[in-house]
Structure 1
């Protein structure tokens, strides 16, 4: 039996329309992929309406808001599930998403094809967001630009680099603020960074919650292997920016010559 395919299109508000082969009594199911070893907890079931030519359509509206994670897409026939493969995906509305102003909380959805060839939706849900823009690597210096959505910068704003396994080790940088507190830029050229992975945050004001630097507002669900940057070498230290599996921006710090 051939595994059915689902085409989909998303609009600028995040509303996704799915099209599948029509069949009586079938519905569409989205399942939040559980972490390894944990049971399934969250699903959404959508009705399918015939649209002619042997096709049926389901719409995932902006409400419900999807929990952050990866959602697998299935065709549901009673209690039987068939995981769907991706058909045509129209993501044009997402390409320039970073150019639009967003309010918090920020809810983002990107349909994509998984590594094993199935259809899924990557979702992010964050109280506020710092969208990474330009990343420049010149000699031993890294320069970054970002724009805030759902927050603005004021007195006491800072960029924080936090060593992932450093028991609270933090470096604080002062950003250059522009556009009424919505945009910022900053430079990393510190040879004293310990080796390891440093996660990057913006604190928009003194005592405010930290906001993770990330790139979420376009059509790329997994950018770790797509956006690959060289390292900046300063003294005996190589600092390389990279995107994590969640599209957050981090720094990998190594000593010259190490692997």
Structure 2
């Protein structure tokens, strides 16, 4: 299996989304250094948001404020892909090491609101974790 950031916990609450997981598929020597959570706006890949990620051995934790996802040029639905990066390696965040397939239809996280924007984490059809932002505030 390809190296990735395996998500163990997703906590969307109080205007923040907290992610907990571990790095899978990289030797321990390759997990040293400074890591960050990177969000990439799918419709505008040059638009990226970065947040510090606490890393201990292969385990990571990071959180982001939902308000950072608000943008004046949003389409009715925007998506952000989530990666963990040390600046040279970029690992896609997802949940692949369990026996559950099709998480998109199984795992439903609560939506949080920032003004007219509704934000919720979701799993893609490839069981990667992304964020969906909908104007109008309802998913």
Aligned length, in residue pairs: 130
Higher RCO by CA contacts (8 Å cutoff, separation 6 or greater):
2
Contact 1:223 1:247 in 2 (8 A): yes
Q: Where does the alignment leave 5 or more consecutive residues of structure 2 unmatched? A: none
Secondary structure, aligned partner of 1:174: strand
**1:84-233 maps to which residues of 2 (within 5 A)?**
106=1, 126=2, 128-151=3-26, 152=28, 153-178=31-56, 180=57, 182-193=58-69, 194=71, 195=74, 196-203=78-85, 205-206=86-87, 208-233=88-113
Distance in 2 separating the partners of 1:160 and 1:154: 17
Contact 2:111 2:118 in 1 (8 A): yes
How much is the aligned-residue C-alpha RMSD, in angstroms? 1.8
Q: Where does the alignment leave 5 or more consecutive residues of structure 1 unmatched? A: 1-105, 107-125
Max Rg structure: 1
| 1:243 corresponds to 2:123 | yes
Secondary structure, aligned partner of 2:105: coil
Secondary structure, aligned partner of 1:225: helix
Distance in 1 separating the partners of 2:67 and 2:55: 24
- TM-score of the two chains, using structure 1 as the length reference: 0.47
Give the helix-richer structure, 1 or 2: 2
